[in-house]
């Protein structure tokens, strides 16, 4: 069971990671540009130098996707802290070792279940 003190520490760590990630995403998107603007650009320029634009955009979207997934993990971990289910594997309900949470506070699975998932994807 995670102590109330640890919950605070994990929350701070997760929030710090989340704000760093949000800053990084904002910078990559050129600050004030919204996702809609980027999409509009994509369609407006789709006709000229199509191949080049596509690969650039693909790269951008691939990066965004990775970061969006990471952001979702952080958000989920914060929700789980609030719900009191943080630090418990979502698959087998075993407690996630503290060392793992310290290294990856957004971890939702124990090592064994995480490995299973990764092998399934590969």
Please give the Cα distance from 64 to 59 (Å, whole number): 9
Return the range that interacts with Zn ion (CB under 5 A); candidates 19-27, 68-76, 80-88, 112-120: 112-120
For the chain, count helices (H), then strands (E).
Answer: 5, 0
Q: Report the residue from 67, 89, 100, 104 that binds Zn ion according to the rule CB under 5 A.
A: 89
Task: Select from 23, 22, 46 the least CA-distant residue to 38.
Answer: 46
Determine if 113 is a binding residue for Zn ion (CB under 5 A).
Answer: yes
Return the range that interacts with Zn ion (CB under 5 A); candidates 13-21, 27-35, 60-68, 84-92: 84-92
In angstroms, give the least distance from the CB of 109 to Zn ion.
Answer: 5
Which residues is 95 bridged to in the sheet? 88
Please, how many CA atoms are within 13 Å of residue 87, restricted to the half-sphere of its CB? 19
Return the range that interacts with Zn ion (CB under 5 A); candidates 20-28, 37-45, 62-70, 94-102: 94-102
Tokens of residue 121, six digits? 């994807």
Determine if 90 is a binding residue for Zn ion (CB under 5 A).
Answer: no
Determine if 92 is a binding residue for Zn ion (CB under 5 A).
Answer: yes
Residue 16 or 94: which CB sits closer to Zn ion? 94
Q: Which secondary-structure segment (H or E) carries 45?
A: none
Q: Give the 3-state secondary structure of residue 92.
A: coil
Residue 63 or 94: which CB sits closer to Zn ion? 94
Give contact residues for Zn ion (rule: CB under 5 A): 89, 91-92, 94, 110, 113
């Amino acid at each position: 069971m995670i102590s109330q003190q640890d919950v605070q520490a994990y929350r701070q760590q997760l929030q710090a990671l989340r704000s760093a990630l949000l800053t990084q995403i904002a910078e990559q998107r050129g600050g004030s540009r919204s996702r809609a603007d980027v999409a509009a650009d994509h369609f407006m320029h789709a006709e000229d130098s199509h191949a080049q634009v596509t690969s650039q955009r693909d790269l951008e979207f691939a990066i965004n996707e990775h970061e969006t997934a990471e952001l979702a993990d952080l958000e989920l971990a914060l929700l789980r802290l609030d719900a009191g289910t943080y630090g418990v594997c979502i698959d087998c309900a075993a407690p996630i070792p503290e060392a793992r949470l310290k290294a990856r506070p957004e971890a939702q699975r124990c090592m064994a279940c995480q490995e299973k998932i990764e092998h399934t994807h590969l």
